[in-house]
Structure 1
Amino acid sequence: MTQQGVTVTIMSSLQWLFFIFANTVVVPISVGAAFQLPSETIEMTIRCSFIFTGIASILQAWIGHRYPLLDSHSGLMWGLMISMGISASALGLDFATVGGGIATGIMLAGAVTILLAAFNMIDIIQKVIKPMVISVYIFLLTFQLIFIFFKGMFKITESGTIDLPVSLFSILIVIFVGFLRIKGGKILGNFSILIGIIVGWAFYRIIFPSDLPTASSSGMAFTFFPLGTPNLDIGIILVSFFAVLLNLTNSFASIQAVADVYKEKVENGQYRRSIFVTGIFACITPIFGLVPFTPFTSTIGFLQSTKLLKRAPFIIGGSLFILLGVIPPLGRFLGTIPLTIGNAVLFVAYLQLFGTALNSLKGTFFNSETIFRLAGPVLVGVSIMNIPPASFGSIPVLLQPFIANGLIMGVIISIFLEKLIDWNKLSSKLEIRQ
């Protein structure tokens, strides 16, 4: 390999490292806060999160679907676990009981997922998760992530108002990264995410030195099942079990979307191997209090932004991420990256995901009737996302995590619409009528 090739590989690996870090670090922190875990235990979950995210991503790229596709905490399960943790008192249960029920449901779903892959029953899933369901999922995931990163760009003061200087700085970073991506040429454009994080981090230290987060120095307390020991609370188990299986939609959507980037056709074996790895980690993650893993559809936006499609930098970046968990000072140092900067850079990266959603509809014809198969679930899902979760307080507590989650409800509506209505037949009748 030439010196230039080595340099590109190193920079690409670092860009992957920052991307993985920015998408991962907030998850164990927020879940730990929802279940009121002590800081020492939260540090343990963060380090375990880094180690297992790196391992899962490398395994998927090596023997799973074999694409450079981040495998990290499921956004769907992340929101569900936080919601159930916050609702523990409303359920009349303590945190350990709720967390233990979640652990049981996730591990049972992981076992079922392993069996589906091991006995080659992928076609059962594919009969439920049809192409339009995947399109609906990608659209809703795009909106959900953009909402999160857009809000995260703006720092909110203690009085509940926007911190104008910090927020304007975030907007400048968005413009800067977007300009690099569009006008920066091959080199600057491909490394726009890495450059944006480094430049934003450096200038933030200069402009807002008193506002910079400090590295934690607390000790770590290792424990198995930190959220709660597995139990047989049927209601919580069923909610968690169903949500993990519904999360397989993400696996199919992600693998299909990344294959489109490579202009390749996905083989059944790729789905099977990937889902098998996902099932294995679903059985492991509850032991360490982690949100179960899934291939990240949002990685597609990163790949399209950077044009870095080789596996080697991804595997190196995943290996470096494992080191962040093994060597605590490294993880603590990266933990000083301002969240507003990370959100601003990821906001630009994930704008590409909207294009992925549009491309998933290529070849699909819509008219005034058939548009309901897309518009119905997507717009209902987005509408639910914009309703405060507290507004669903009158709904039975165990149903709230589903009803209040726009992504889950949109996908469920899409599944029912695809099963109950023959859209191709309806389209043909309309064409004849016209």
Structure 2
Amino acid sequence: MTTTPTGTTRHKHEAKRPEDEYLGVAPSIAYGLQHVLTMYGGIVAVPLIIGQAAGLAPAEIGVLIAAALFMGGLATLIQTIGFPFFGCQLPLVQGVSFASVATMIAIVVAGGGLPTVFGAVMASAAIGFLIAPIFSKVIKFLPPVVTGTIITTIGLTLMPVAARWAMGGNSKAEDFGSVANIGLAALTLALVLVLSKIGIAAVSRLSILLAMVIGTLFATAVGMADFSQVGNGPIFAFPQPFFFGAPVFDIAAIISMLIVVIVILTETTADIIAVGEIVDTEVDSKRIANGLRADMASSALAPIFGSFTQSAFAQNVGLVAVTGVKSRFVVAAGGVILVLLGLLPVMGRVVAAVPTAVLGGAGIVLFGTVAASGIRTLAKVEYHNNMNLVIVATSIGFGMIPIAAPTFYEHFPDWFETIFHSGISSAAIMAILLNLLFNHLKAGNVDQASVFVAGTNRILCERDVAVLNHGDHFVDGKLFNAEGEEVPIVPDNSPEANGISGQPASSH
């Protein structure tokens, strides 16, 4: 038990890894609820879309939503708590993947119905489970030039989601894009910024949640939020197995869904790497494999309760970066809340009453923080006399194509469109391939091989030269002072660099 500077008491065990810190029950629940509110709109959107496409009644769509919340919670617990061979043990929230929406709608429209969708999800997830260990080996081909590009693209591709939320969420609604909706989003954004600036650590870390609560209260006061329907419907309901019938296994549907699973594996790998960078913890191929297996096992189990493919939610990666709360037990608490929401539809109706514009205001900060984290990683990359700038430029540009022109690939084969319609998977594939081409297959590479490389001038920051004295000079890679005495150069993580030797350490 420790006492924070603000006088509050924090419970935690000695954690060798940042993500293993335990903050206590109350803080974990509060921060966990913040994660749930951040991803709630995304997790209920998929069952809403699929249910409408399948022509389901509102009560049946409610069953899909409850199943999505219940399975999202279970998948989150598996991913964060971890079991042997399952779960990356990182603060990652799981939920229904958007990547599968187009394919599932195509299956439903083709006449297969939800049973065929469920069968395709179960079979393709089982295959994904088998290839997860092989897929995880890609980690050795993911240096900072690749991971930074992927993380930046994750943040950028989520910005249209934040914009739609800020406009009201439903493009068919009369008030979509109204000044009132955007104004509510702007108020929420302003609250996040003001609360983040307050010098109380607990308030700053809960700035997203507090801003959403205050924004919702304001919206209620001015008639932009309606809680009158919260009491309509059952209070408790357990997801009924195979509510929509036994799964149907159709070969064509399974192949289509398998492409989606590959996209999900790519995106989840990117999210695991991204949150590992933000948490500042080691992520190796074994950890990625455990995370992917948890993803696929949850996806295979989900159709039993009436849900779909599960994957990590990128928007919650941004919340980890904004709040600085790295504990996986906080996200596990969010998983418990999701399970309860799935079992208690009344709680789900309360959260569903939060105006989408409020989510949009918070989303601008959250998603922008993901992109900023990627930019910070890219700042560590060496760009002098290599092709790294070309790799970053081309990959990010490639990833932005589906965002700038959503119909760009509509005349391509379905399998190609499914893979590259995701800006995240597009950027990830391009970054990995270009890194292999330029940094691993070096045959034919020459110094200053590109006009882009030639344009990257070498610079030094003030902090790099601030510790030098007049007369310091380099000879054969060694630093000497004006008297000709050698000045030791030590690694950044050495005791001398950290000031243990008694000399003030420089910042690099």
Q: TM-score, normalised by structure 1?
A: 0.83
Written as runs of structure 1 = structure 2, the 5 A alignment for 1:33-48 is 33-48=52-67
Q: CA deviation at 1:204?
A: 0.3
Question: What CA distance in whole angstroms lies between the structure 2 residues aligned with 1:424 and 1:150?
Answer: 41
For 1:70, the equivalent position in structure 2 comes to 93
Q: CA deviation at 1:429?
A: 2.0
Q: CA deviation at 1:45?
A: 1.5
Question: What CA distance in whole angstroms lies between the structure 2 residues aligned with 1:210 and 1:113?
Answer: 41
Unaligned segments of structure 2, at least 5 residues: 11-23, 455-508
Question: What CA distance in whole angstroms lies between the structure 1 residues aligned with 2:414 and 2:448?
Answer: 46
Indicate whether 1:148 and 2:161 are aligned.
yes
For 1:374, the equivalent position in structure 2 comes to 392
Unaligned segments of structure 1, at least 5 residues: none
The amino acid across from 1:333 in the alignment is: V
Q: Which moved more, 1:198-207 or 1:321-330?
A: 321-330
Q: CA deviation at 1:353?
A: 0.2
Q: Which moved more, 1:45-54 or 1:194-203?
A: 45-54
For 1:82, the equivalent position in structure 2 comes to 102
The amino acid across from 1:42 in the alignment is: I
Q: CA deviation at 1:410?
A: 3.3
Written as runs of structure 1 = structure 2, the 5 A alignment for 1:32-431 is 32-63=51-82, 64-74=87-97, 78-82=98-102, 85=105, 93-94=110-111, 96=113, 102-117=117-132, 120-121=133-134, 124-126=137-139, 132-155=145-168, 158=173, 162-183=177-198, 185-209=200-224, 214-215=229-230, 217=232, 222=240, 224=242, 226=244, 229-234=247-252, 236-366=253-383, 370-389=388-407, 393-396=410-413, 399-402=416-419, 404-422=421-439, 425=442, 429-431=446-448
Question: What CA distance in whole angstroms lies between the structure 2 residues aligned with 1:79 and 1:334?
Answer: 24
The amino acid across from 1:167 in the alignment is: I
Give the % identical residues: 19
The amino acid across from 1:180 in the alignment is: L
Q: CA deviation at 1:334?
A: 1.6
Written as runs of structure 1 = structure 2, the 5 A alignment for 1:14-25 is 14-25=33-44
Q: CA deviation at 1:195?
A: 0.3
SS at match of 1:429: coil
Q: CA deviation at 1:49?
A: 1.3
Question: What CA distance in whole angstroms lies between the structure 2 residues aligned with 1:115 and 1:161?
Answer: 44
Question: What CA distance in whole angstroms lies between the structure 1 residues aligned with 2:368 and 2:296?
Answer: 30
Contact map agreement 2:156 2:367 (CA 8 A) in 1? no
CA distances 1:284-332 after superposition (whole Å, capped 9, x unpaired): 1234443312233432311121122233333223212211111221111
Aligned pair count? 422
Q: CA deviation at 1:375?
A: 1.7
Q: CA deviation at 1:52?
A: 1.4
The amino acid across from 2:62 in the alignment is: E
| Larger Rg computed on CA atoms | 2
Question: What CA distance in whole angstroms lies between the structure 1 residues aligned with 2:309 and 2:441?
Answer: 36
SS at match of 1:430: coil
Question: What CA distance in whole angstroms lies between the structure 1 residues aligned with 2:413 and 2:284?
Answer: 42
Greater relative contact order (Cα < 8 A, sep 6+): 1
Q: Which moved more, 1:53-62 or 1:28-37?
A: 28-37
Cα distance change of structure 1 residues 85 and 189 upon mapping to structure 2, 3 Å threshold:
same
Question: What CA distance in whole angstroms lies between the structure 1 residues aligned with 2:146 and 2:262?
Answer: 14
